[in-house]
């Protein structure tokens, strides 16, 4: 992959951390900035794109998914249209490397959730809902491996 420019990145940029205008396609606020740092803006944007492919959670725990929702009715573009708009607006094009970025981010999230599950096992989890993360790890890893294969992994 070509090196991406270093930019301020959110670190947890997803629809769950955005307040949208109820009357127009406009972001009113971006929340939850404690993971902000300097980094690869394409990796940050790809993390946001995960919601288009996020495995649904039966318990409702974890990150939300757009799978199974009527995106046009909700005013949400397809992933491809959203990526095209990002490229047009920023000039940063991740399309050729999107499977790599998505594999990375899905594996990253699976590892984060596995760490939470480990804290539950060890009795050091701080959240009452931490145990609900366990069933999410495998589907995230499976999705990550699918993107890794799409990127050329064997």
Per-domain boundaries in the chain: 7-150
Q: What's the pLDDT score for residue 151? A: 95
pLDDT averaged over the chain? 91
- For residue 67, the tally of other CB atoms under 10 A from its CB is 12
- 24 DSSP 8-state letter: S
Give 59-107 pLDDT, tens digit per residue.
Answer: 666 678 899 999 999 888 999 999 999 999 999 999 999 999 999 999 9
Q: Are 25 and 10 in contact (CB under 8 A)?
A: no
The answer to pTM > 0.95 is no
Q: What is the mean pLDDT of residues 18-22?
A: 91
Angle at which helix 98-122 crosses helix 134-150, to 10 degrees, equals 160
Q: What is the pLDDT of residue 144?
A: 97
Q: Would you mind telling me the total number of residues written for the chain in this entry?
A: 154
CA distances from 143 to 19, 25, 83 (A): 27, 29, 19
Q: What average pLDDT does range 131-154 have in this prediction?
A: 93
Residue 28 has φ and ψ, to the nearest 5°, of -90, -35
3-state secondary structure of 37: strand
Q: Which of 98, 49, 36, 56 is nearest to 77 (CA)?
A: 49
């Amino acid at each position: 992959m070509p090196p991406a420019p270093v930019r301020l990145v959110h670190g947890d940029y997803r629809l769950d951390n955005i307040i949208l205008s109820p009357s127009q396609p406009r972001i009113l606020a971006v929340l939850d900035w404690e993971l902000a740092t300097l980094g690869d803006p394409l990796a940050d944007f790809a993390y946001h794109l995960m919601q288009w492919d996020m495995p649904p959670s039966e318990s409702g725990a974890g990150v939300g998914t757009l799978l199974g929702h009527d995106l046009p009715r909700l005013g949400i573009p397809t992933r491809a249209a959203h990526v095209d708009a990002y490229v047009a607006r920023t000039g940063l094009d991740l399309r050729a490397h999107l499977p790599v970025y998505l594999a990375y981010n899905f594996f990253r999230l699976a590892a984060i959730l596995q760490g939470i599950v480990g804290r539950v096992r060890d009795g050091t989890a701080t959240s009452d809902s931490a145990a609900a993360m366990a069933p999410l790890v495998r589907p995230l890893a499976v999705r990550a491996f699918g993107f890794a294969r799409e990127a050329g992994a064997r």
